Amino acid sequence: MSQWRRAELRAVTPESDTARTLHLTVDGWPGHLPGQHVDLRLTADDGYQAVRSYSLSAPADGDRIEISVQPAPRGEVSPYLAAHFPVGAAVEVKGPLGGWFVWKPARPEPVLLVAGGSGIAPLAAMLRSRLDLGDDGPPFHLAYSLRDPGQRWFGPLLDTIAKAEDPTVTAACLYTRTAPPGHPRPVGRITTADLDLPGFQPADATLAFVCGPTAFVEKAANLLVHLGHRPDRVRTERFG
Ligand SMILES: Cc1cc2nc3c(=O)[nH]c(=O)nc-3n(C[C@H](O)[C@H](O)[C@H](O)COP(=O)(O)OP(=O)(O)OC[C@H]3O[C@@H](n4cnc5c(N)ncnc54)[C@H](O)[C@@H]3O)c2cc1C
């Protein structure tokens, strides 16, 4: 049974003008699988508590975990975590949580990752785990829908994938409002063309992971089912 554990902030990495990744160490952390999340609990001086869920954005690494937070306008918890929570301070986390939206590195099928905005967080943990397998891992493709280049999280990870030019691990940014000069895809919302990819067809037994805001997840999951993917092979995580 999961218990609340003390988690101390050790470092932060900016992901955009407003979002950041928090690098925490957790007392007695039992380890986790890519795709899992934690519940995070803040306690105010007067005892008031707030709990929110955050995906683990890096693979297991001893007592270290990473979460990546997008501040919600007028939100209670995320603006604090994304801008004010200071290095050296502590919160509590419970986890790891979730057993369905999980990629187990021993699985052989091709994996199609579909992210909307901050929904890239758990998919980044899966991508990093896949890269750790080197030549032994299955094909992976990330379709990452985002507003503009300033919202591109995990830049070093995506740059590593682009530079490696490894046809078995690929990533495409699907900009919805503004694309960088020369970007091959016109701006616009995700379409079937972004997901209808050789090597990631239903006949390849592709496993799809879709994560992001609820409306995005529903749209992308519907596109995948429309393309013929079995609903039980389209795993979804909604950030609400
Ligand atoms: C499994 C899971 C994993 C998640 N992983 C991540 C992650 O990796 N990264 C991430 O950034 N988020 C993630 N989330 C979302 C996260 O849990 C929070 O929901 C998010 O950070 C917002 O929390 P908050 O306290 O700032 O906002 P809240 O205070 O909960 O408010 C949320 C939104 O609702 C609005 N709102 C609140 N109250 C009202 C009201 N009375 N009337 C109108 N509007 C209102 C606020 O303006 C805000 O925009 C995840 C969620 C789930 C379920």
Q: What is the pLDDT of residues 46-76, one digit of tens each?
A: 999 999 999 999 999 999 999 999 999 999 9
* In the predicted structure, residue 224 carries a pLDDT above the cut 90: yes
Q: Kindly state the helix (H) or strand (E) to which residue 79 belongs, with its residue range.
A: helix 78-79
What's the CA-to-centroid distance between 154 and ligand 1, angstroms? Answer: 21
Q: Which residue CA neighbors atom 50 of ligand 1 most closely?
A: 239
Q: What is the pLDDT of residues 115-161, one digit of tens each?
A: 999 999 999 999 999 999 998 899 999 999 999 999 999 999 999 99
Q: Are residues 39 and 80 in the same domain?
A: yes
CATH of the domain at 9: 2.40.30.10
Q: Which residue CA neighbors atom 33 of ligand 1 most closely?
A: 75
What's the CA-to-centroid distance between 208 and ligand 1, angstroms? Answer: 24
The pair of structure tokens assigned to 115 is 């992210």
Q: What is the mean pLDDT of residues 95-111?
A: 95
Provide residues with CB under 6 Å of ligand 1.
37, 52-55, 67-70, 72-78, 118, 121, 237, 239-240
Q: Are residues 15 and 58 in the same domain?
A: yes
Is 73 domain-assigned?
A: yes
Q: What is the mean pLDDT of residues 216-232?
A: 98
* In the predicted structure, residue 100 carries a pLDDT above the cut 90: yes
What's the CA-to-centroid distance between 240 and ligand 1, angstroms? Answer: 7
Return the closest-CA partner of residue 65 out of 40, 98, 102, 43: 40
Q: How many CA atoms, within 13 angstroms, populate the side-chain half-sphere of residue 114?
A: 32
CATH of the domain at 119: 3.40.50.80
Kindly state the greatest CA–CA separation across the chain: 57
Q: Kindly state the helix (H) or strand (E) to which residue 4 belongs, with its residue range.
A: strand 4-14
Residues 70, 52: contact at Cβ < 8 Å?
no
- The total number of residues shown for the chain amounts to 240
Count of C-beta atoms within a 10 Å radius of residue 233 = 16
Residue 59's domain comprises 4-97
What's the CA-to-centroid distance between 72 and ligand 1, angstroms? Answer: 6
Residues 188, 178: contact at Cβ < 8 Å?
no
Q: What is the pLDDT of residues 195-210, one digit of tens each?
A: 999 999 999 999 999 9
Is 41 domain-assigned?
A: yes
Total number of domains in the chain:
2
- Write down which residue in 97, 127, 160 finishes a domain: 97
- Write down which residue in 40, 73, 97 finishes a domain: 97
Residues 125, 58: contact at Cβ < 8 Å?
yes
Phi–psi pair at 95, nearest 5 degrees: 160, -170
Is 105 domain-assigned?
A: no
Q: What is the mean pLDDT of residues 85-101?
A: 97
Q: Are residues 91 and 122 in the same domain?
A: no
Q: Which atom of ligand 1 is nearest to the CA of 78?
A: 26
Q: What is the pLDDT of residues 2-47, one digit of tens each?
A: 899 999 999 999 999 999 999 999 999 999 999 999 999 999 999 9
Please tell me the predicted confidence (pLDDT) of residue 1: 64
